Amino acid sequence: MKTVDVNIDKAVNIVEMLDLVSDIIDYDLTNELIENNSILPGVFIQLDGEDIHHLHQLDTQITKNATVSIFSSKVDE
C-alpha cells in the first residue's frame, strides 16, 4: 500500500487528482485505471470512504483535506 499526499488549492475531479498523483509518483496511474472515460473493471475509488460510483463518478469533486482511496488488482506497486 502506498500513500501520497497531494496539496490542492481548489476542487479537482477524480481524473485531475489521478493526473496530479501520476506526476508525483512518476507513473501513469490515470491510464492504468481509466479507459474511454470509464473506470476499468476491478478498480474501486472512494472519496472519504464512499464509492465514487454512488457520487458523480469521474466528475466527483475532491476538496482540501479529503481522502481518496484507490483499490485495484491492476496496481500492485
> What domains sit in the chain, N to C, each tagged with a CATH number?
12-72 (3.10.20.30)
Cell numbers standing for residue 28: 501513469
Residue 77 pLDDT class (50, 70, 90 cuts): very low
What per-residue confidence (pLDDT) applies to 75? 52
What would the pLDDT profile of 31-75 be if each residue is shown by its tens digit? 999 999 999 999 999 999 999 999 999 999 999 999 999 998 865
pLDDT at 73: 81
Local structure of residue 52 (DSSP, 8 states): G
Give the number of C-alpha atoms closer than 13 A to the C-alpha of residue 19, restricted to the C-beta side.
7
Half-sphere exposure of 46 (CA within 13 A, CB side): 8
